[in-house]
Amino acid sequence: MIRTIGLTICPVCTKPSPFGYTHPRCKTKYSLDGLTSVFRYTGPIQKSIKMLKYRRVTDLVPELSKLIIARIEPFPQYAFHKFLKVKPVVIPIPLHWWRKRGRWFNQSELIAEELAKDWNLEVRNNLLQRKKLTNSQAGLKKDERKANIKDAFEVSSVFDLPLTVDHVILFDDVWTTGSTMREAGNVLKRAGVTKVWALTIAR
């Protein structure tokens, strides 16, 4: 059974927060501004993500995209809908080039492109780069994940700083501890992005 997420959390402290906004007390100049995770990472959703990620079943990309949209669309009052109205740029969490070569593709990139098509948004796959080949986050404890992902991202040198991008949807497949998204969001904010909202399929 597919389980949806009812309780939204602050992306900084991960405690309950209305609509996924970052708590005022948690907010800093470089923090994420909010988080939307759609499904629980269990059952068919977990299986689908793993099949896409490790067994290259790319037919699942449009199906996962449709499931995300079908869950989000009925709730226009949600904060994420308000964020969509400002026409943010969609940026998927990048893979290191070595890992991407081994997998053939970045699963988050493929789904981000599908979502952006439906929402009529621009995708920037080349803006954020993973400059460090990190260990897999799977199996690491929270502090280990944070240390592992530190300084892993950078803005591509083809872009002038500060960036002219004001609003970004930062997309990844799964939110576990949030270390990856927080680190990537920090890099984007320091490069000049005004608002960064995190979106994941599952949590």
- A 10 A CB-CB count for 164 gives 9
Closest CA to 176 of 128, 144, 130: 144
Contact 13, 176 (CB under 8 A): no
Alpha-carbon span 13 to 66, nearest angstrom? 30
Q: Rg (Cα) of the chain, in Å, rounded?
A: 16
CA triple 198-24-151, angle to 5 deg: 45
Q: Consecutive sets of 10 residues in the chain, 203 residues long: mean pLDDT of each? A: 93 96 97 97 96 92 95 78 93 90 89 96 96 72 78 93 95 96 98 98 97
Q: Please, which residues bridge with residue 167 across strands? A: 195
Packed helices 60-72 and 107-119: angle between N→C axes, nearest 10 degrees: 50
Taking the model in full, what pTM does it have?
0.94
Q: What confidence score (pLDDT) does residue 87 get?
A: 96
Amino acid at 135: N
Q: What confidence score (pLDDT) does residue 40 get?
A: 97
Domains, the chain, in order of start with CATH, read 18-202 (3.40.50)
Q: What confidence score (pLDDT) does residue 139 get?
A: 66
Q: What confidence score (pLDDT) does residue 76 get?
A: 64
